[in-house]
A and B are shown apart, each in its own frame.
Chain A
Amino acid sequence: MSRFILKRLWQAFLAALGALTILFFVQRLTGDPTLLLVPEGATAEDIATLRASLGFDQPLYIQYLQYIKGLGTFDLGMSYVQGVPVWDILMSRLPYTLWLTAGAMLLSIGAGLPIGVLMALKRGTILERLLQGVVFTGQSMPTFFSGILMILLFAVHLQWLPSSGSDSVTSMLMPSVALGLLTLATFARVARTAVLDELGKDYVRTARAKGVPMKRIIWRHLARNSAIPVITVAALEISHLLAGAVIVETLFAWPGLGQVAVQAIEARDFPIVQAVVLFGAVASVACNLIADLLYGLVDPRIRHTGGAQ
């Protein structure tokens, strides 16, 4: 098992390094950040001085090697614009994004899975059609659109919820729902398919022939057997949620990583962008690793072929 984990960690390291390398060079194609940093009417000499102090006068590969060297000592660099260590900025904003993502995940799993299971069990009934409608709506509305609709309804018309900010728990509600809606639909779909697949299998018929009531069949037999696709999707969806946070945080003025990233991209504050992407890469790799480990817990067949040797 530990060899399996080591192998996965090595793969994760390569994936993160790859993502960072691509980002590093692509960012520098967007232009010279010094020009954005200097005040109006600065002389060519001033610009040259600043450029040299930020290290932009060095060849690209030297800059890259220095950046990697910094990462090796957990130094994410200084923000060009704010002059503060990137690490501090990251840490001050991270909790907000984590709360938001957790809220969205909770909503999408807590509502998405039961909806999917219900759709499978009540196949062909009006209830299924109704739920299908909810799922389709969730799936076909982009976050920025559903978010604006929600602001219009709950903040502007009904004035139940604040339209932006992060002052109270209620201000987390709309961003979480906006972020989680799409994921909810995905979970519902996956759960429905998984349960339908399993319902037709022979072991369900055996359980019925044993006199096991349907409710118990679902909890004791179906749930575990349909867990694998759900775990796979959950791992993928966490990355999607982090990506979606960029839009939602901008929309609701939520002071998380996404908002920082957008501001940093506009200001060509490279170290911050790199740090946020690094975090995203590490997070998604970690989720996939956790998913792999969960597979083994759920399915003994995977435990035997995947890890032990």
Chain B
Amino acid sequence: MNASSETHTPVLEVRGLGVRLRDIAAVDDIDLTLYAGEALALVGESGCGKSLSSLAIMGLLPHVASLSEGTSILLQGQQLAGLDEDSYNRLRGNRMSMIFQEPFTSLNPLMPVGAQITEVLTVHGVPEAEARARALDMLNKVGIPDPAVRFNQFPFELSGGICQRVMIALALVGNPTLLIADEPTTALDVTIQAQILDLMRDLMRERDTALLLITHDMGVVAETADRVAVMYAGRIVELADARTLFTSPRHPYTRLLLESIPGISTPPKTVLRTIAGTVPDIRDWAEGCRFHPRCPFASDDCRKAAPPLEDLPLDGRSHKVACRHVNKTELL
């Protein structure tokens, strides 16, 4: 992130985002700010609320889930919380769009892929002929060979990687300012993963799109993100630029998480670190700091109250951590 973007209005400004699953708070008081051309990764294990957060921003929460009171979601200054479906429809596909995990099932099996991309534009008032031309052009841009042939094919005639390229084309054809990608490469082969990530990054840079990347894969984060927000049990526990987070993580959870991943320099047969315990079920989230049952530094304070997400800048760079024992993390 460069200094000049700080002065602009953020593309996305989320304040106090909460999502309730029936009566359980599944996402708790999350703040996120995202600028044009920037990629922010929202990282965490399954069930930590990262997908719900992204669906909340898109206005696509399942009907058992709802936004908590006091949630504010600003897209280029426009309030999205409480927006009605029609107004949301005018924004989705147009100013904000989303890529999902499963490229096959995320596309309509009975509609040629070209028509599915074209539809993004026609529902927002672009004339049919122009929409088709732009859709075809987009298929070309996402690197699909023979785009004119692919245009009329159905998803079942395409590979998973090509389908995900189609999804990217579909998400970007409307030139959105915000792109949310929820585990965009998880369902793909490793070799295809890198291609898809490169493609997303290139297109996003080219168009100055802001990217919110939801993933559990630290490799994907390292390759794509400018900044990283680490989520644990519905809360953000650490937020820093990617390099800082990887080189000097300060929350015990982040640190343990990173050390549990083998690096290329890890000698063979090294016993990797593990985090004691398991990811808690949403109904068993602890009082106070939700990581305390698995944390080696947990004190009585941690059990009583959740530590706030505080900015503890390092070398002049913002680095937010929610932990009372930041100083001890080095000891791990």
Contact = CB atoms under 8 A, between A and B. Distances in A.
Contacts of B90: 211
Contacts of A206: 100, 106-108, 167, 170
9 contacts: A202-B102, A203-B108, A208-B92, A209-B93, A210-B123, A211-B90, A211-B93, A212-B123, A300-B110
Contacts of A224: 110-111
B103 to A, nearest CB: 10
A300 B120 contact: no
Contact of A211 (B94, B108, B109): B94
Contacts of B92: 208-211
A157 interface: no
B91 interface: yes
A220 interface: yes
B100 A225 contact: no
A8 interface: no
Interface of A: 201-203, 205-214, 216, 220-221, 224-225, 298-301, 304
B154 interface: yes
A208 B108 contact: no
B106 A213 contact: no
Contact of A210 (B93, B109, B110, B156): B93
Nearest to A203: B108
A166 B250 CA distance: 87
The A interface is mostly helix, strand or loop, or mixed, namely helix
Contacts of B94: 211
B181 to A, nearest CB: 11
A207 to B, nearest CB: 7
B9 interface: no
Interface in B65-113: 85-86, 88-94, 97-98, 100, 102, 105-111
Nearest to A228: B110
Interface residues of B, number: 31
A174 B155 CA distance: 47
What 7 pairs between A and B have smallest CB-CB spacing?
A: A211-B93, A211-B92, A210-B93, A202-B105, A203-B108, A209-B98, A211-B89
A87 to B, nearest CB: 44
B100 A202 contact: yes
A203 B86 contact: no
B119 interface: yes
A295 to B, nearest CB: 12
A236 B244 CA distance: 66
A207 B123 CA distance: 11
A203 B154 contact: no
A203 B108 CA distance: 5
B109 A203 contact: yes
Given A202-B102, A203-B109, A300-B110, A213 B58 contact: no
Given A209-B60, A301-B154, 20 more contacts: A202-B100, A202-B102, A202-B105, A202-B106, A203-B106, A203-B107, A205-B60, A205-B106, A206-B106, A206-B170, A207-B108, A209-B171, A211-B89, A211-B120, A211-B123, A220-B119, A225-B109, A299-B110, A300-B110, A300-B156
B124 interface: yes
Contacts of A207: 108, 119
A201 B105 contact: yes
